[in-house]
Amino acid sequence: MEQLDLDDSQRRAIKTAAGATATVITGASGTGKTTVLLEAASHIIEGGQSLVLLAAGRKAADDLRSKLTLRHGRLPHNVSVRTAQAWAFGILQEYAADRGRQTPELITGPGQDAIITELLAEIGDQIPWPEAITPDVIALPGFRAELRDLLTRAAELGLSGADLVQLGTDRSEENWIAVGHLMDHYENALALEDATAPGGAGADRFDHARLVHQAARLLATPDAWSQGAMPTWDWVLVDDYQNATLATASLLSSVHDIIPGDGRGARLVMTADPDTAVEGFRGGIAHLPGLARGSKPGLGVNAGLVTLEKRHRAGAKLAALQDSLIARIGVAGTGEHRKPEAADGEDAFSITTFPGGDQQLSGIARMIRREHVRGNLRYDDIAIITRSRGAHTEIERVLREAGVRVRPAARNQPLRYSRVVRALMDIIREAGGGELADADLLGLLSSPVIGLEPSHRRTLVQHVNAAFGESETPVRDALVEPPKDDWAHPLRKLSHILDKVRVAIASGLDAEAVLWEAWEAVGLAEDWRERALSGGPTSRSSGAMLDSVMQMFRVAQRMVDRDARTTAAQLIDELEGQDIAEDSIARTGRESGVHLLTPAMAIGQDFELVIVADLNDGAWPNLRIRDGLFGAGRLAELHLDRLTDGISGLRSVLDDELRMLAFSIGRARKELVFTAVDSEDTSHSRFIDLIATEADIEHIESSQLSMSIPGVIGRLRSAISDPTLRVRDSDRELAADILASLPTWSPSDRIGVAPETWIPTLEPSNPEPWEASTRISPSSVENILKCTLKWFMEAAGLKNVEDVRALSRGTFVHELAEKHPDGDLQAMMESVEAMWDDYAADLADGYEREFEREILLFQVETLSNYLREHPKGIVERTVRVETDSFTVAGRIDRIEETPDGPVIVDFKTGKPKSKTLVQENPQLKVYQWLYEKETGQATAGAKLVHVSEADKSGLPKTREQDPLTDEGRAQVDEMLIEVKNELGGVDLGARENDACRYCSAKVVCPLYEEGALFS
């Protein structure tokens, strides 16, 4: 066996631990705590003793297991490497086997949420809630999240419902009293006492918090086991003990107190760095290593202390940086390990700020590409750490568009929000007799499992209405026996899938089998797998959809394992009832690429390059007191007697923020980069000011081009064809040679490599000029002038979900304005109720649907106020004027007669624009021009009525435009000539404007790096 080169303090730590019953080994980041633990574990394995090695997370456990296996060839049966939760679950499994009970079941987060929801519905009115907690508050998902947090923390502390009621009474905490009563009902619902009592017959059910405590209780009660059945261990080794919970401390205390055959309990070795604890929000206690040195029941094991004295990671720069931050953190039980000797490696540290969030992400992508391309640094050796994972999805998108391989960001939504899962649920619901509405069936046709393109949906609907127009449900009728025309292919595909699933359900198959039949009938598994592995433009979405389907199968499997009679309908009910993401204690697969992490997710890992991003004031540090509605953090501090040690709540929060940053610094083996935004609205973190001067910060004032393959290709092509760049002939020839050689040194399936995929090389689909009958609306005139490319792409169906929702809302409000020109509020509300189900068909139940309804009702009421206050006018007047190139036509929402003449009214459901912008608004000017051309009568002006915002009197905010002058009419003529020129050729112009940041066509825009292929 290979011997590691240990320093003196490491050898001393191993020797001390070998001769003690309990030892805490402390050391700063990079001092080799994990190395010492692995070396101690190797000695124990060689001695033939039993061992449990506990890691703070699943990935850390996997890495420790791999290292031990590599060193010893294989691990003996009496050696296991796990997380505390997995170890506790194993203990409960052994107990169940000993008592002849079913295998224990772990309650997932959604399962726990469903139990709490059911309890609140059944006995919520019996709980003595404080006056502020009304039924409306109880119904909120955020309320249940806060409630779960307190229940979890109480369980980790080993508190019963009665204990919590007593603490609430002593401390005048009404919320604790209420939750204590609910906790008793929750415990009864889980039937923990009955499930774990000798002679019980049912399966034990545990949530994560109670899992570890229950294992500790069982080890503390040997009489609950058969003779010789209770498991014992010679050694328990724990890495990163500063991130452990009180439940884990209780489990260690129990196993340490067991008296096996040799007359003593398991011997403990715990490594820790209290200054880098990052699991406080999950119940982790930075003080546990210090408390382990005492004798307090459930916490203390009279452990000795050994300190590691030399770093073996990075160099002097990062060591000094981390030490300077740690010096500002209050000592959590022990501080002897601070300021160890620095390692002698080369390291680097830099701080870069950007003028905006987009520029920051583009800058990070450029850094990574530079290190990968020029520095030969593997993507796996790079990590981006943010304080929370809310930004990970956007970071992942930007990195992928820049050609950076990145590991998928963690999903943080219930499964039903996945489009493919929602589609499979609707298929099973329809096949089971649920009879979806036509709007839902159309949504199913447009889902990923059928793939009806938005541009083809209108054509399909027209054909269906023509063939089945007399039916109230034409889409449903079309699915019964779909036509054999080409346009009906999506209908035939969906009909085939539904037939297969109907047969499976009628055959009495369980939920998992029915789901499998549905997935097999969809037939997309292999196609999506190939796309996910290709690295192409659809790889991310294909991989995400496959992950969602796999997770759906896990839910079905879990339900069938629990009850073999579980039906497909019950599976759908389970998924519909989930308001939080699925979780598990099982190991998960890995994917190569840049790591997107939070400090807690980075436990047990280190990287060549670490980028700490979004280091902005208000984001990191976030000094908001952690306690929410129920004071879960305060409860933990009270239980540990920490409220009286002179540390205020804000001080504890600040320490936690510093610990997370200090820990993140310690993840870097060679290079560390801080990035932040410095703008009028955002400033860099005060933590940066603690460690650097203004001279140390690099301020990037403008965006830089990335080093992605699409970006390089776009620049090379620009060098060849763009005369404004004034590229020398020799450089143009060199660029052409590089482009010609691309297929020989880059994968042909990589986006942009194959010349035949370059948009400018493709022949126009229709080179003919626009016909005079082509209809252009006033809004299209405005959008074409703003950006022809975006107008064209959106006309072809490229819209994001938010744009579609806003458009639907606008259509809804305009329809009400047309039906009720007098503004009768009661009649308008009756129309809302009649139209609501169809309008909200694609909205998820719960918050999304209620939020949209609240917005809509406000706008309807505001619209009613306006209509009742203003003179009745002409409604939805169609106006049209033919030009030699196209026809300008539109429908005016309302024309109001005033003493000065007709006023054009346009209702808007978006945010109001400034009065200056509205005076020059092209759409309103074209409407005025159209009205004058068609009627021969001059207008008295126009106005935008924004029903999304109201003044104090309840009337919507309005923005007015003056009547057209001769100059204004000439401007409209010029605008139409410009539109004619824009649409006269085969090219589409792209213009930079204030909407570019959120533009759905950015991916094909030559003004931006991600659209460079299309320049």
Q: Is 940 annotated as a binding residue?
A: no
The DSSP line for 434-453 is: ----HHHHHHHHTSTTT---
CA–CA dist 357, 394 (Å, integer): 10
Element (H, E) at 907: strand 901-908
Q: Which two tokens stand for residue 410?
A: 């963690």
**Of the ranges 173-177, 358-362, 593-597, the best mean pLDDT one:** 593-597
| DSSP-assigned beta bridge partners for residue 959 | 944
Q: Is 796 annotated as a binding residue?
A: no
The answer on pLDDT for 168 being more than 80 is yes
The DSSP line for 47-88 is: TT--EEEEESSHHHHHHHHHHHHHHHSS--TTEEEEEHHHHH
**DSSP summary character for residue 231:** -
CA–CA dist 809, 816 (Å, integer): 11
**pLDDT given at position 710:** 63
Q: Is 32 annotated as a binding residue?
A: yes
Average pLDDT for the chain: 81
**DSSP summary character for residue 483:** -
For the chain, what is the total number of helices (H) and then of strands (E)?
Answer: 38, 20
Q: Are 313 and 346 in contact (CB under 8 A)?
A: no
The answer on pLDDT for 869 being more than 50 is yes
Confidence class of residue 580 from pLDDT cuts 50, 70 and 90? Answer: low
**Whole-number percent of the chain with pLDDT over 90:** 22
Confidence class of residue 1014 from pLDDT cuts 50, 70 and 90? Answer: very low
Q: What angle do CA 660, 663, 665 make, to 5 degrees?
A: 115
Of 954, 955, 957, give the one whose Cα is nearest residue 946: 957
Lowest mean pLDDT segment, chosen from 329-343, 381-395, 447-461, 471-485:
447-461
Q: Is 948 annotated as a binding residue?
A: no
CATH class of domain segment(s) 8-102+211-310: alpha beta
**pLDDT given at position 57:** 82
Strands 874-882 and 887-898: antiparallel
| DSSP-assigned beta bridge partners for residue 677 | 354
Instruction: Tell which CATH classification among 3.60.21.10, 3.30.930.10, 3.30.70.1560, 3.40.50.300 matches the domain 348-411+591-699.
Output: 3.40.50.300
Lowest mean pLDDT segment, chosen from 380-389, 706-715, 808-817, 986-995:
706-715
Q: Which two tokens stand for residue 460?
A: 């399909």
Span between the terminal Cα atoms of the chain, in Å: 59
Residue with tokens 């715990």: 270
Q: Is 958 annotated as a binding residue?
A: no
* pLDDT tens, position by position, 785-844: 888 888 888 777 666 544 566 777 888 888 888 888 888 889 899 888 888 877 776 666
**pLDDT given at position 31:** 93
**DSSP summary character for residue 750:** S
* Surface-to-core class of residue 669, CB atoms within 10 Å of its CB (0-12 exposed, 13-18 middle, 19+ buried): buried
**pLDDT given at position 518:** 92
Rg (CA), the chain: 33
Element (H, E) at 824: none
For the domain spanning 773-798+872-946+955-1014, the CATH number is: 3.90.320.10
State CA 463 to chain mean position distance.
Answer: 39
Lowest mean pLDDT segment, chosen from 41-55, 591-605, 634-648:
634-648
Q: What angle do CA 375, 354, 689 make, to 5 degrees?
A: 95
Of 541, 599, 550, 552, give the one whose Cα is nearest residue 393: 541
Question: Residue 959, SS3?
Answer: strand
> Is 415-577 a domain of CATH 1.10.486?
yes
CA–CA dist 461, 442 (Å, integer): 9
Q: Is 437 annotated as a binding residue?
A: no
Kindly give the interhelix angle for 922-935 and 778-786, rounded to the nearest 10 degrees.
Answer: 140
Confidence class of residue 646 from pLDDT cuts 50, 70 and 90? Answer: very low
Confidence class of residue 42 from pLDDT cuts 50, 70 and 90? Answer: very high
Confidence class of residue 221 from pLDDT cuts 50, 70 and 90? Answer: confident
State CA 263 to chain mean position distance.
Answer: 51
Element (H, E) at 140: none
Of 326, 268, 249, 294, give the one whose Cα is nearest residue 88: 249
CA–CA dist 62, 65 (Å, integer): 5
Between residues 931 and 543, the one the model is more confident about: 931
Of 566, 545, 546, 544, give the one whose Cα is nearest residue 556: 566
Confidence class of residue 150 from pLDDT cuts 50, 70 and 90? Answer: confident
CA–CA dist 183, 176 (Å, integer): 10
Query: HEC profile for 339-408?
Result: CCECCCCCCEEEEEEECCHHHHHHHHHHHHHHHHHCCCCCHHHEEEECCCHHHHHHHHHHHHHCCCCECC
Q: Is 28 annotated as a binding residue?
A: yes
Confidence class of residue 444 from pLDDT cuts 50, 70 and 90? Answer: confident
Q: Is 228 annotated as a binding residue?
A: no
Kindly give the interhelix angle for 438-445 and 419-431, rounded to the nearest 10 degrees.
Answer: 130
The answer on pLDDT for 320 being more than 90 is yes
Q: What angle do CA 341, 346, 350 make, to 5 degrees?
A: 100
Question: Residue 762, SS3?
Answer: coil
Which residues 6+ apart lie within 8 Å of 164 measured at CB?
Answer: 154, 176, 177, 179, 180, 183, 635
* pLDDT tens, position by position, 493-541: 999 999 999 999 999 898 899 999 999 999 988 888 887 776 555 666 7
